């Protein structure tokens, strides 16, 4: 049987290989956990916004049950007036044909190096960048 000349090279290669596998098996679950946490945070923010909107709509519904709110809406939307009152209608000025200037385009982000992209992948900083909203 032939004996290896440099057994430390084989040991170092196997060690690097095992460390690489251990690293990869930890990065993927870590990223999944980070992405799930960000999804939960976004869902909570959306829930809070929807609850606030629901509260506003509920207040509108409750306000519609009062005579004063019904009268206010009839005056604003339908132009109703009480007997003896004089109604004035204010019209918008006619269009002049002028156009509004277009907004300036946003400057593009500089290209990131592959090292920065790999680091963002490892730390999970790139997870929230793909969907802003």
Q: Is 120 helix (H, G, I), strand (E, B) or coil?
A: helix
Given a contact cutoff of 8 angstroms between Cβ atoms, the answer to whether 27 and 122 are in contact is: yes
Q: What is the pTM of this model?
A: 0.46
Given a contact cutoff of 8 angstroms between Cβ atoms, the answer to whether 64 and 70 are in contact is: yes
- pLDDT tens-digit series, residues 47-104: 999 999 999 999 988 888 888 888 888 888 888 888 998 888 788 888 877 777 788 8
* Orientation angle between helical segments 7-63 and 114-123, nearest 10 degrees: 70
- According to the model, what pLDDT value does residue 132 have? 44
Q: What is the CA radius of gyration of the chain?
A: 33
């Amino acid at each position: 049987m032939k004996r290896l000349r440099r057994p430390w090279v084989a040991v170092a290669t196997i060690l690097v290989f095992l460390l690489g596998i251990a690293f990869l098996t930890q990065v993927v679950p870590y990223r999944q956990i980070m992405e799930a946490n960000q999804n939960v945070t976004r869902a909570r923010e959306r829930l809070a916004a929807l609850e606030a909107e629901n509260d506003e709509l509920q207040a509108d519904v409750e306000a519609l049950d009062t005579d004063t709110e019904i009268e206010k809406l009839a005056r604003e939307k339908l132009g109703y007036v009480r007997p003896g009152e004089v109604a004035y209608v204010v019209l918008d000025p006619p269009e002049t044909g002028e156009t509004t200037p277009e907004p300036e385009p946003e400057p593009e982000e500089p290209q990131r190096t592959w090292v920065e992209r790999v680091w963002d992948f490892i730390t999970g900083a790139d997870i929230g960048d793909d969907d802003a909203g």
